[in-house]
């Protein structure tokens, strides 16, 4: 065995090791609770495939739930098996993988390689068009539907692989007269929406999966090189994703999945936990391995979490234990309103960090929310106390107005047929092209069966004499921007430069200042977008293609001569990579020898657009490296862990969320949130909460009330003081060195003497606690500082 092998195997327990060493050519299911090392086992299994079984990385496909998870897994694998082995691993979310294959091979099913990916916002623009056109039919049937509702219905049909035609057939087949009428109408709306997408040469997120499935059906050979597929978070896959997995797995029966039915939280997006059973039926010799030891949390956090999830009578108990110490009891506290609740969180964060004497930083803290809107108060309170925070999957970076404007421009540059982009930027910055003119352009586009961009280009060229000269010259300006950028993009200009040019041509900064009060902040986001573009620019540009240069060896020598990396021995394919900026002319000639079509599919612009459109969280690395508290939704926190976790708003109406009709799924969501915590967990609730502008009485979440009924000793209402024992627990679980004691003491003392604390005693978290007097806090703190309570 290679030397690396010992390292990753020796730290595993027996069950984990069995899972990792299970023969590669088999079907394997790892079913286990949170924190039991499922993701770790999956990663180690990939390493074992490569190092022990000598399986080529390009034969392994690893599917994660978010792009972030894929990046993390790749980073870990770089450490285990080295960068030379990770570069060619096929890795990503189902969506990202499909996008990649569709770009390269989409022609097989009639797609153009420069299709755009539309987000919900652009989707709304398209569907609103359809709804407008269908208004008469809808009126006649007495049927009304909102854009978002229509989109979500279409989305769940797509997730089940139902196309407009079959949706229509089911509609016609229903016996209920009222129902069949709206089902048929819905199918027509769905069909209209697909037409709009097609005219824009674009796919929505669900389409990526749907078209992926048809691509692999039409040309199964594309996946020949994939011999092993591994899927994380399998409990949250939908029907389409299951079919994709089957496509990948078909060739070899070599499929490993990990999952936890207790953590299935995407039923509302048509995920089907039944896929676990389905897989066992499809692969009759599926081996199931259970992992029962939790490595993440203290015993008391685990006990509290299990008391929540086990309220579900239909649940199958898997058995989950921990060998970690009991630790501090989770805190369960009530506050008059969300302002005091958030203030408590902020002061408590400060207090814990100060008392940990350098062991914990802001990075170790997360605030997990049922829904995004709850973040406002928390952000405010943290800000007030000078605590930096980052919002995971809050308002997505790529959802911001200014970012969207610029992306829409770039999309239009790449894909002239992209209607939502056209509509978005034709008048940004204001060019006084009125709604009437835009309507006229759209009308002519429809008449001629061309894109609005094409119409505008013709008008600018003077080929439509009946247009007013003033409008003509405005349009010419616009066309000039797009064409200049397109020329640059074809020359493979780095995206950061494209963006700079775009800002210059449109005088975007001046426009922001003119039209927005918070222009400065928005300009920051623009700069951030350029940063993220330069990051993509500097990533390795990889070109795949079949060499026409004679023997593979000849190619290899030539590639290496150019100082580029070479992979691909024996694969029949060649991949060349180099830093994009440094691709000089001779290298360009070399690349020309490869299949130009596939190389073209990989322009820097296209790679950038793809990564932006598929970003699921705030995946733009923020340029400031300060430590920050993470604010995230419970959904976005899946698979992650933090030493300190706060879950505010544990109230009826929030947990379970009033709009959800699946109380079991809501309970599992709270379970997912609690099981993210390693050492400190705070569940807080308020007596009053503002809901949609109105203040409402709030009841404690029934999940917590029930948990307390089952065991009165699960929670504490007081504030935990960090003891030396806690520090030891942290060091054990989080795997961190215990800080030097004099340093700890100095830190605590410094905190005690801090002028802020003396001037504003009510803000430091001590005296807010009803159970303690400030004096007592002070002495405890002081005692701590002197090492007495330790």
Annotated binding site for ATP: 32-39
Q: Are 620 and 382 in contact (CB under 8 A)?
A: no
- Residue written as token pair 């001046």: 510
Distance of alpha carbon 610 from alpha carbon 248, whole angstroms: 22
Measure CA 59 to chain center.
25
Q: Residue 38 CB, nearest distance to Mg ion (Å)?
A: 5
Candidates 6, 11, 463, 742: give the one binding ligand ATP (CB under 6 A). Answer: 11
Distance of alpha carbon 529 from alpha carbon 461, whole angstroms: 33
Scanning 27-35, 53-61, 102-110, 557-565 for contacts with ligand ATP by CB under 6 A, the matching segment is: 27-35
Q: Are 225 and 248 in contact (CB under 8 A)?
A: no
User: Is residue 259 close enough to count as binding ligand ATP by CB under 6 A?
Assistant: no
User: Is residue 444 close enough to count as binding ligand ATP by CB under 6 A?
Assistant: no
Query: Which letter does DSSP use for residue 637 in this model?
Result: T
Q: Which residues pair with 631 in a beta bridge?
A: 367, 391
Scanning 31-39, 222-230, 417-425, 693-701 for contacts with Mg ion by CB under 5 A, the matching segment is: 31-39
3-state secondary structure of 686: strand
* Interaction partner, residue 16 (Mg ion, ligand ATP, none; CB < 5-8 Å by kind): ligand ATP
* φ, ψ at 73 (rounded to 5°): -65, -40
Scanning 7-15, 199-207, 392-400, 437-445 for contacts with ligand ATP by CB under 6 A, the matching segment is: 7-15
User: Is residue 256 close enough to count as binding ligand ATP by CB under 6 A?
Assistant: no
* Interaction partner, residue 106 (Mg ion, ligand ATP, none; CB < 5-8 Å by kind): none
Q: How many CB atoms lie within 10 A of CB 620?
A: 20
What is the tally of helices (H) and strands (E) in the chain?
35, 21
Scanning 36-44, 177-185, 342-350, 464-472 for contacts with ligand ATP by CB under 6 A, the matching segment is: 36-44
Q: Residue 675 CB, nearest distance to ligand ATP (Å)?
A: 6
Q: Are 357 and 745 in contact (CB under 8 A)?
A: yes
Looking at the Cβ atoms of 36 and 129, the one nearer to ligand ATP is 36
Looking at the Cβ atoms of 40 and 606, the one nearer to ligand ATP is 40
Q: Residue 729 CB, nearest distance to ligand ATP (Å)?
A: 14
Q: Residue 34 CB, nearest distance to ligand ATP (Å)?
A: 4
Q: Residue 327 CB, nearest distance to ligand ATP (Å)?
A: 15
Q: Residue 94 CB, nearest distance to Mg ion (Å)?
A: 16
Q: Show the site string, 189-208: x = touches Mg ion by CB under 5 A, - = not.
A: --------------------
Residues 271-330 close enough to bind ligand ATP by CB under 6 A:
295-296
* φ, ψ at 696 (rounded to 5°): -125, 145
Looking at the Cβ atoms of 37 and 394, the one nearer to ligand ATP is 37
Q: Are strands 202-204 and 228-231 parallel, antiparallel or unpaired?
A: unpaired
Q: Are 46 and 21 in contact (CB under 8 A)?
A: no
Q: Are strands 574-579 and 90-92 parallel, antiparallel or unpaired?
A: unpaired
User: Is residue 36 close enough to count as binding ligand ATP by CB under 6 A?
Assistant: yes
* φ, ψ at 156 (rounded to 5°): -75, -30
Candidates 36, 39, 577, 603: give the one binding Mg ion (CB under 5 A). Answer: 39
Scanning 29-37, 422-430, 560-568, 716-724 for contacts with ligand ATP by CB under 6 A, the matching segment is: 29-37
Q: Which residue is nearest to ligand ATP (CB)?
A: 37
User: Is residue 639 close enough to count as binding ligand ATP by CB under 6 A?
Assistant: yes
* φ, ψ at 717 (rounded to 5°): -100, -10
First-to-final CA distance of the chain:
47
Q: Are 655 and 666 in contact (CB under 8 A)?
A: yes
- Residue written as token pair 């814990």: 352
Contacts with ligand ATP by CB under 6 A lie at: 11-13, 16, 32, 34-40, 260, 263, 295-296, 639, 641
Contacts with Mg ion by CB under 5 A lie at: 38-39, 639
């Amino acid at each position: 065995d290679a030397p690396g092998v010992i390292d990753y195997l020796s730290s595993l327990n027996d069950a984990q090791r069995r899972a990792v060493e299970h023969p590669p050519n088999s079907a394997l299911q790892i079913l286990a609770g949170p924190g039991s090392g499922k993701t770790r086992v999956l990663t180690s299994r990939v390493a074992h495939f490569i190092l022990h079984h000598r399986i080529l990385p390009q034969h392994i496909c690893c599917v994660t739930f978010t792009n972030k998870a894929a990046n993390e897994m790749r980073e870990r694998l770089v450490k285990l098996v080295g960068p030379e082995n990770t570069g060619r691993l096929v890795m990503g979310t189902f969506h990202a993988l499909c996008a990649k294959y569709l770009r390269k091979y989409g022609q097989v099913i009639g797609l153009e390689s420069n299709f755009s990916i539309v987000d919900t916002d652009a989707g709304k623009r398209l569907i609103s068009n359809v709804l407008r056109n269908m208004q008469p039919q809808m009126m006649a049937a007495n049927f009304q539907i909102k854009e978002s509702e229509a989109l979500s219905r279409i989305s769940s049909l797509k997730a089940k692989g139902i196309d407009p035609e079959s949706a229509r057939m089911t509609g016609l087949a229903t016996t209920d007269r009222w129902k069949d009428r709206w089902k048929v109408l819905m199918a027509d709306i769905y069909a209209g929406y697909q037409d709009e997408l097609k005219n824009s040469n674009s796919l929505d997120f669900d389409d990526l999966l749907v078209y992926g499935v048809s691509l692999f059906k039409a040309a199964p050979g594309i996946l020949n090189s994939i011999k092993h597929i591994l899927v994380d978070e399998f409990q949250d896959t939908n029907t389409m994703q299951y079919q994709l997995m089957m496509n990948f797995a078909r060739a070899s029966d070599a499929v490993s999945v990990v999952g936890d039915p207790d953590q299935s939280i995407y039923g509302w997006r048509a995920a089907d936990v039944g896929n676990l059973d389905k897989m066992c039926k499809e692969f009759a010799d599926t081996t199931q391995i259970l992992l029962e030891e939790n490595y993440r949390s203290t015993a008391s956090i685990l006990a509290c979490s299990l008391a929540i999830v086990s309220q579900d009578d239909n649940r199958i108990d898997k058995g989950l234990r921990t060998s970690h110490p009991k630790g501090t009891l989770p805190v369960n506290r009530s506050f008059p309103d969300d302002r005091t609740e958030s203030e408590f969180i902020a002061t408590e964060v400060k207090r814990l960090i100060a008392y940990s004497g350098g062991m914990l930083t802001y990075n170790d803290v997360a605030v997990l929310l049922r829904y995004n809107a709850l973040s406002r108060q928390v952000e405010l309170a943290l800000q007030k106390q000078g605590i930096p925070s980052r919002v995971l999957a809050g308002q997505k970076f790529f959802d911001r107005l200014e970012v969207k404007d610029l992306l829409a421009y770039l999309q239009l540059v790449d894909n002239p047929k992209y209607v939502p982009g056209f509509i978005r930027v034709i008048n940004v910055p204001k060019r006084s092209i009125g709604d009437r003119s835009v309507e006229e352009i759209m009308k002519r586009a429809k008449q001629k069966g061309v894109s609005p961009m094409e119409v505008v280009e013709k008008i600018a060229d003077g080929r439509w004499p009946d247009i007013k000269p003033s409008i003509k010259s405005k349009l010419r300006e616009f066309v000039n921007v797009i064409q200049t950028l397109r020329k640059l993009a074809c020359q493979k200009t780095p995206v950061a430069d494209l963006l700079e040019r775009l800002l210059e041509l449109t005088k975007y900064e001046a426009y922001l200042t003119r039209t927005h009060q918070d222009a400065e902040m928005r300009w920051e986001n623009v700069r951030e977008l350029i940063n993220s573009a330069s990051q993509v620019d500097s990533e390795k540009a990889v070109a795949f293609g079949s060499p026409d240069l004679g023997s593979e060896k000849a190619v290899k020598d030539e590639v290496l001569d150019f100082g580029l990396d070479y992979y691909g021995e024996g694969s029949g394919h060649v991949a060349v990579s180099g830093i994009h900026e440094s691709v000089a002319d001779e290298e360009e000639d070399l690349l020309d020898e490869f299949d130009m079509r596939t190389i073209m599919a990989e322009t820097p612009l296209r790679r950038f657009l793809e990564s932006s459109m598929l970003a699921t969280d705030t995946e733009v690395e923020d340029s400031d490296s300060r430590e920050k508290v993470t604010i995230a939704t419970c959904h976005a926190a899946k698979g992650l862990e933090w030493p300190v976790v706060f879950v505010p708003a544990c109230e009826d109406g929030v947990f379970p969320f009033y709009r959800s009709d699946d109380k079991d799924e809501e309970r599992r969501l709270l379970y997912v949130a609690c099981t993210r915590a390693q050492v400190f967990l705070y569940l807080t609730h308020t007596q009053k909460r503002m809901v949609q502008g109105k203040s409402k009485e709030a009841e404690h979440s029934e999940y917590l009330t029930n948990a307390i009924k089952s065991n009165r000793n699960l929670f504490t209402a007081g504030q935990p003081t960090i003891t030396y024992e806690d520090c030891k627990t942290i060091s054990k679980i989080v795997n961190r060195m215990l800080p030097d004691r004099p340093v700890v003491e100095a830190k605590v003392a410094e905190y005690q003497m801090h002028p802020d604390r003396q001037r504003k005693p009510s803000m430091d978290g001590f005296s807010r606690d009803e159970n303690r007097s400030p004096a007592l806090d002070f002495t405890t703190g002081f005692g701590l500082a002197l090492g007495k309570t330790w």
